[in-house]
Amino acid sequence: MKNIVNLEYLTNEEIYEILDEADAFAKGKKVDYQGSKCIAYLFFEPSTRTHYSFEKAALNLNCKTQNLDIQNSSVLKGESLYDTVRFFESIGSDAVVIRHPENDYYKQLIGKINIPILSGGDGTGQHPSQSLLDLLTIRQEFGSFEGLKVVIVGDVQHSRVAHTNFKIMERLGMSVYTSGPLEYKEEGMNYVDFDEIIPQVDVVMLLRVQHERHTSNMSLSKEEYHQQYGLNRQRVETMKENAIIMHPAPFNRNVEIADDIVECEKARIFKQMENGVYVRMALINQVLKDE
């Protein structure tokens, strides 16, 4: 695997290979690059989980790391993405992790950049490492994917997590539904009524409303959103006994999820974050081991 930027470019076998290795890291597998490799982090959008769990993953593999401080970099002088990435290649970085607001930003780099590119998310397009950690969390819970039902709820239209998960989960044999405010509904993504679907699904995956990607204000107040689409105790009580709650985070307490549900017995949100390190260790190892 040379670049990991879009799960559509990976076969099911390659996806299972990453998940199996992530599981092995979760169980204590060790890989030590002895400081011989350096990973560069280029985050053109804010991030806590993706950025710092990718960095922790590199440190766990005994790789060195460099973080581009965008606000004090030549990006502010108009340097292009290609020239910035090419710089990191020139100084000897062994791989780059990039998050960028432009959908498909990686298409301008692939074939021109000779070090592996790991995507930390592109606009509203794809979030491959998030989907892989979501898949790992689901497989740890249920053992396999075939036949599971998932509902993804919220600002589906602006969510790269929803876009990536909808496709890969269906490909791996799950039935995937979406729900949430009609203004953020996306055609072709199996939209259903939230309260009707909750008792039928194995996974309720909540999304944050992505205000930063909107051109106009949401028509609902936070209170209205919570009342209509927020996961509260009353709704949790209608879930199947073994069903779980997921959220890529950051989450807005008492908007898409009630404060007392964030860490309830069905919630796997912090487990997802822990799994993020193992998945990103597997991703870094996949692209470095053949170098």
Give the residue with the Cβ less far from ligand CP, 230 or 248: 248
Q: How far is the CB of 97 from ligand CP (least distance, A)?
A: 11
Q: Does 250 bind ligand CP (CB under 6 A)?
A: yes
Query: Do the Cβ atoms of 66 and 40 come closer than 8 Å?
Result: yes
Identified binder of ligand CP from the candidate list 248, 275, 277, 278, rule CB under 6 A: 248
Show the site string, 151-190: x = touches ligand CP by CB under 6 A, - = not.
Answer: ----------------------------------------
Identified binder of ligand CP from the candidate list 36, 48, 228, 238, rule CB under 6 A: 48
Q: How far is the CB of 276 from ligand CP (least distance, A)?
A: 8
Which residue, among 127, 121, 156, has the nearest Cα to 46 in the 3D structure?
121
Question: Residue 29 class from Cβ within 10 Å (0-12 exposed, 13-18 middle, 19+ buried)?
Answer: middle
How far is CA 129 from each of CA 42, 121, 165, 272, rounded to the nearest angstrom? 15, 8, 11, 11
Question: Residue 12 class from Cβ within 10 Å (0-12 exposed, 13-18 middle, 19+ buried)?
Answer: exposed
Beta-bridge partners for 203: 150, 244
- The pairing of strands 117-122 and 95-100 is parallel
* Region binding ligand CP by CB under 6 A among candidate stretches 146-154, 165-173, 220-228, 244-252: 244-252
Give the residue with the Cβ less far from ligand CP, 33 or 124: 124
Task: Determine the angle formed by the axes of helices 128-142 and 160-171, rounding to 10 degrees.
Answer: 50
Give the residue with the Cβ less far from ligand CP, 162 or 197: 162
* Region binding ligand CP by CB under 6 A among candidate stretches 9-17, 144-152, 195-203, 243-251: 243-251
Local structure of residue 103 (DSSP, 8 states): T
By CB under 6 A, how many residues form the interface with ligand CP?
Answer: 9
Residues shown for the chain: 291
Identified binder of ligand CP from the candidate list 23, 26, 47, 254, rule CB under 6 A: 47
Identified binder of ligand CP from the candidate list 126, 130, 131, 286, rule CB under 6 A: 130
* Region binding ligand CP by CB under 6 A among candidate stretches 27-35, 134-142, 190-198, 242-250: 242-250
Structure tokens at 291: 């170098």
The residues that touch ligand CP, with contacts defined as CB under 6 A, are: 47-51, 130, 248-250
